[in-house]
Structure 1
C-alpha cells in the first residue's frame, strides 16, 4: 500500500473485541496475565505483550507500527515531545568524553540541550557549518558519537546536503541523526538519502492542528542495538514514553496529514511569492522560491514541496513588534504547522534568553519574523500580513 493508504488502513495488533474501526484508547497503567510465565516473558521482552504503560501501551504501539510501516523503518519509538525524541536519542548514542558534530544554526532548545545540558554530563558539542563539508569532516574525531542536523534550520532556513553528510558520517563509522520535523515523512524519504536515525516533533504536522505534544524516533536499523537500548534502557529509566491519549489524537492527525500538508505547502508558496513585492519587507526567506540559495538542493532532497514555514525581515525589532501587534487573522503564537497561521519574533521569544552575542553567532536576527502558514484561504493570509506590514 502507498503511504496515505497505510495511514488509514493499518491493522491493529490484535482484533478488537467490538470490531472498532478506530484504535481504542487504552487508558490503563498495567495489564493482567494468565500466568507467571507469560508475565515474566512480557517483562523480559520475549513477547510483544504490554506489561506497563510507561514502556508499552497498545494505543501507542499501534501508532508506532503505523509510522514504522509508512517509513519502512526498523523500529519506531513514540515519546512525549520532540525534545524528548532528540534528548533520548542523543543520550542513547553518547557517553561522557564523546562529542556531537552539529550546526550553530539549531533551534533554541536543541542548541541549549547540546551546547549546555549535555556538556554537564561530559558530552561536548563541535559546532560547525554543516554546509561546509570539509569543515564537518575536520570536526569529526575518534570520540565523535554522531552528526546531528536539522533538515531545514529554524529560523535561519538553511539546508545542508543530507546525502553528502551521510557519506562523511558513514565513512567515519558514525550515524547521521536528522531532525526532519520541517518536511513530513509522507513527502520526504530520509533513509534514501542516508539518514540513520530520524527524530520528529509529531506535535507539528502529525498532530492534526496542534492537538497534542509528542515526538517520534525512527530507526532505520543501521545503528547496532539502537532501538533495543532505547526500549530496554532509555524508556525504562527516563520515562518519556508517549501517553495513550496523545497517540490516539496523533493517529487521527496522521490520517489527514498528507491532505493538510499539501494545502499548507501550497499556501506557503503563494504567501512567499506575494510578499516579495511588498516594499516594507526587506527579505522573504522560503526555500520554495526559485531565487533562494537552497532551492535546487531542496528540490533534490524534498521534492516539489518546500514546507509551510517562512520568514520575513523588516527594518527593526520595533517594526516587527508593531507588525505582530496589528495582525488580525494570523495568530500571535509559537508552534509550527497548526491549522491556523502563526507569527512569532524568534529573537525575543524562542531565543530570548540567549545573549545578543550568542544570537549573532546563531544568525538569529532582531529583524526576523517567523511565519507558520496554516489552512486558511491564502488570500486572507496575504491580506492580513500586507495590511499589518504597511500599517
Structure 2
C-alpha cells in the first residue's frame, strides 16, 4: 500500500468495543488485569498489555504503530517533545568515557544538550562540519558511539550527503542518527539512505497546527549493536540480539526511568495530524518554493536561502535526497540586525512566533532567540548571522504572504 492508504488503515492493538473510527483517548493512570499472571506478563514485557501509563498507553501505542507501519521501522517510541527524542537517542548510545561526533550546525538546544548536559556526564562531543566528509571521518575512533546530524540544518539549511555519511559510519562500526524534522517521512525515507536511528519533532508537521508537543524516536533495526563500545548496549545484544539492543534499552530502561512518554491527549491529536500530513506538506512546500522565488526579485532582500532553488549550492544533493520540495521553511537575509527586527515588527499576516510547519506562517530572528544565549563568536561558528530571518510557511494564500513580506520591507 502507498503512504496515504497505510496511514489510514493501521488497525488498533485490540478491537474497540464501540467500533470507534478514531482511537479513543485513554485518560487513565493504571489498568486492571484479569489475573496475577497477566499482571506479571505485562510488567515483565511478555505481553503487549500496558502495565502503567508512564510506560505505555493504548492511545500512544497506536500512534507509535501507525508511524512504524508507514516507515517500516522495527520500533517507534513517542515522547513528550522532540528534544526528549534526541536526548533518549543520544543517552541510549552513550556513556562516560565515550564520544559522539556531531554536526556543528544544529538547533540551539541540541548543541546545549550535547555540550552542557551530556558533557557534564562524561560524554565527549566532537563537533564537525558534516558537509565536509573527511573532517567527520577524522574524528571517529574506537570510543565513538554515534554520528548525529540534521538532514537539513535549522536555520542554516545546509545539506549533508547522507549515503556517504552512512558509508563512513558503518565502515567504522558506528550508527548514524539523524534529525529529520525539516522534511517529513511522507516525503523522505531515511532508512533508504542508511540512517539507523531517526528522531523527529512531531510538534511540527505531524501535529499540523501547534496543538501539542511531541517527539518520535524511530529504530530501523539495521545496526549491529555488538559493535558499539557502550557496555549497556553490548550487554543487551546477548539477551535480545544484535539488532534490537537499542530498542530494548529505550523501551525497558529509558522510558521507564526518565518518564517522558507522550501523553494520550497529544498522541490522539497527532494520529489526526498523520491523516492529512502529506496533503498539508505538499501545499505548504509548494507555496514555500513559489514564495522563495518571488523574494529573489525583491531588492531589499540580500539573500534567499532555500535548497529547492536551482541557484542554491545544495540544490542537486537536496533534490536527490528529498525531491523538488525540501520542506516548508526558508530564510532571508536583510542588510542588518536592525532591518531584520524592523521587518518582523511590521508583519501583519505572518506571525511572530517560534515553531515550524504550523498551519499558520511564522517568522523568527534565530540569532536573538533560538541562539540568543550563545556569544556572537559561537553564532558565527555555527553560521547563524544576525541578518537572518527564518520563515516557516503555512496554509495561507501565497499571494497574501508575498504582499505581507513586501509591505514589511518598506
**TM-score, normalising length: structure 2:** 0.94
Aligned partner of 2:345 among 325, 328, 332: 325
Gaps of 5+ in 1: none
Cα deviation per residue 1:118-149 (whole Å; 9 max; x = unaligned)? 10001111111111111111010111110001
Q: In 1, Cα distance between the equivalents of 2:292 and 2:85? A: 31
How far 1:298 moved relative to its partner?
Answer: 0.6
Residue in structure 1 matched with residue 393 of structure 2 by the alignment = 373
Residue in structure 1 matched with residue 41 of structure 2 by the alignment = 41
Q: In 2, Cα distance between the equivalents of 1:105 and 1:133? A: 14
Q: In 2, Cα distance between the equivalents of 1:179 and 1:304? A: 20
Residue in structure 2 matched with residue 287 of structure 1 by the alignment = 307
Aligned partner of 2:247 among 209, 219, 227: 227
Q: In 2, Cα distance between the equivalents of 1:53 and 1:350? A: 33
Q: In 1, Cα distance between the equivalents of 2:134 and 2:306? A: 26
Q: Specify the SS of the correspondent of 2:149.
A: strand
How far 1:303 moved relative to its partner?
Answer: 1.5
Residue in structure 1 matched with residue 234 of structure 2 by the alignment = none
Q: Specify the SS of the correspondent of 1:297.
A: helix
Q: Is the 8 A contact 1:208 1:252 kept in 2?
A: no
Residue in structure 2 matched with residue 77 of structure 1 by the alignment = 77
Q: In 1, Cα distance between the equivalents of 2:3 and 2:10? A: 10
Residue in structure 1 matched with residue 120 of structure 2 by the alignment = 120
Cα deviation per residue 1:145-193 (whole Å; 9 max; x = unaligned)? 1000100101111000000000000001010000000000011010000
Residue in structure 2 matched with residue 197 of structure 1 by the alignment = 197
Cα deviation per residue 1:80-133 (whole Å; 9 max; x = unaligned)? 000000001100000001111111111000011111111000111111111111
Residue in structure 1 matched with residue 68 of structure 2 by the alignment = 68
Q: Is the 8 A contact 2:360 2:393 kept in 1?
A: yes
Ranges of 4+ aligned residues in structure 1 off by more than 3 Å: none
Residue in structure 2 matched with residue 107 of structure 1 by the alignment = 107
Gaps of 5+ in 2: 224-242
Give the number of equivalent residue pairs. 390
Aligned partner of 2:322 among 288, 302, 317: 302
Cα deviation per residue 1:287-344 (whole Å; 9 max; x = unaligned)? 0000100110011101221100100000001000100010000000000000010000
Residue in structure 2 matched with residue 352 of structure 1 by the alignment = 372
How far 1:222 moved relative to its partner?
Answer: 2.0
Q: In 2, Cα distance between the equivalents of 1:350 and 1:126? A: 21
Q: Is the 8 A contact 2:7 2:69 kept in 1?
A: no
Residue in structure 2 matched with residue 181 of structure 1 by the alignment = 181
Q: In 2, Cα distance between the equivalents of 1:208 and 1:134? A: 38
**TM-score, normalising length: structure 1:** 0.99
* 1:212-251 superposed matches below 5 A: 212-223=212-223, 224=243, 225-251=245-271
